[in-house]
A and B are shown apart, each in its own frame.
Chain A
Amino acid sequence: MQEHDAEKVRESLKLVFPPVNQELQRDLWPLMLRRMETPTTAVPWYDWALAGAVTVLFVFVPKLALLLAYHL
């Protein structure tokens, strides 16, 4: 391919593919801040109680833990 042809191909490609806009369309930092300030989900007391009950049961009856491990 001659230098002239290469130049023509380059020009054609530039025409077909418009330059990519590398600038951000909007400021993402406020979104990030909003997300960081969103309160994390609070765990209600009954979920703590449930988790505690299951843990205590597994400690005292480890056979159940093995059965549950089979189903998990």
Chain B
Amino acid sequence: MNQHPYLRAYMAGVAVPTALLLVGVTVFFFARFVFNVPLPIERVVIFPLTIIPNAFGLWNMLYVKLYPRWKTPIGLHGAILPFLIGPIGFTLAVALGFITATEHGLVAFGVIRIPYGMLAVAPFVAIAAYYLLWKYGVGFLNREVGIAG
């Protein structure tokens, strides 16, 4: 099964965020329709729906490309991805008006106030979550489709 390793890597990478999208969209739907948070949901889901799965797929292709040379653990490889995705997501959120910066912190979606102190923790949470997702989610799928993992 040595054919199209990059295609298989892309598909294995895409599968994890696509499955988790259900959870994310459910969270946003509850926030919007149950708790009446004024989310422009059709614009909010653009980033998780389009950019994140493709980023996972391409990042996994890069992992397969680099693996023979560097033998990086897949968890570590995945933990680097938030450094790329985070700024893109933040820029997009600011550009589309979901997040505004105030004197005391960020205001997300018009109602959620996040103090700057708490924001210092956010990158570590993202890194930890991505590390676990890549190690146990993408790594498992990579092994199943017969590529490095």
Contacts and interface: CB of A to CB of B under 8 A. Distances in A.
B10 interface: no
Interface in B19-65: 20-21, 23-24, 27-28, 31, 44, 47-48, 52
A34 to B, nearest CB: 15
Interface string A53-72: 11001000101111111111
Contact of B89 (A43, A51, A70): A70
Contact of A54 (B23, B27, B82, B129): B129
Q: Interface of chain A, helix or strand or loop or mixed? A: helix
A67 B23 contact: no
Q: Interface of chain B, helix or strand or loop or mixed? A: helix
A69 B93 CA distance: 13
Chain B interface size, as a band, is: 20 to 34
A20 to B, nearest CB: 22
Nearest to A50: B128
B135 interface: yes
A14 B93 CA distance: 66
Interface of A: 43, 47, 50-51, 53-54, 57, 61, 63-72
